[in-house]
Amino acid sequence: MTELKAAASSHQPTQIPTYLTPEMAWTPLKSTDARLAHITWNQVVPLLSKPWSSGDRDEVQALTLLIEAIEGIGKGRPPEPPKTVQPARRPDLLQAAMELTETTSQDGRQRALDHAATSVEELQQLRLAVKETVSATPVGESVRLVQAWIWSAATSIGHALTEAGESTGYELRLSRYRSDHY
């Protein structure tokens, strides 16, 4: 089910986690239900990405947030918004993020990378590079309990943990979870 809201005031920030639920059992459709399709959340992502990934900055940001929310279904707290880094061009950023990831895996304290990204896409690329690096570590390593996500001042009632987050409104955050999601 998709719900579109016309007025911004009719949307509350806490609604998304309650609207997006894990897959549910279903009954096959009758031939009279030709306009309906039963698909999983994983099948929704490519349908969203195809038309919206080449949109303007705001559209790409909205798409990124929605994909983050979909990927977080059934995994605890909802994810947060993005900014981006070209890890291939900035290996120092990936290294710094991985050092924070390691420290977070040990003590469980949430951390943020103090990097003033030039775009949401830059932070999103860094988040994905961290995810890829962590997923390559052996099963059972404590670092696999840490996930990178993007915090946004626009969607959070919390505050930035870094000067960069304060100035840009976004930051790459690292949080430890109870189970391995890789």
Question: For the chain, which ranges sit under pLDDT 70?
Answer: 1-38, 74-90
**Any residues with CB less than 8 A from the CB of 7 and at least 6 apart, and which?**
none
Alpha helix segments (H runs only) across the chain: 15-19, 41-52, 57-71, 91-107, 120-135, 163-168
pTM: 0.52
The domain locations on the chain are 40-182
Among the listed residues 129, 57, 52, the one whose alpha carbon sits nearest the alpha carbon of residue 87: 129
Question: Coil, strand or helix: which one is 158?
Answer: coil
What does the alpha-carbon distance between residue 90 and residue 72 come to, in Å, rounded to a whole number? 27
| H-run or E-run covering 86 | none
Predicted confidence at residue 111, as pLDDT, reads: 96
Q: 37-71 pLDDT, tens per residue? A: 667 777 888 888 888 888 788 788 888 888 888 87
Nearest of 40, 111, 37 to residue 74 by alpha carbon = 40
Contact criterion met (CB below 8 Å) for 143 and 102:
yes
Residue 31: its pLDDT value, please? 60
What is the Cα–Cα distance from 143 to 65, expressed in whole angstroms? 24
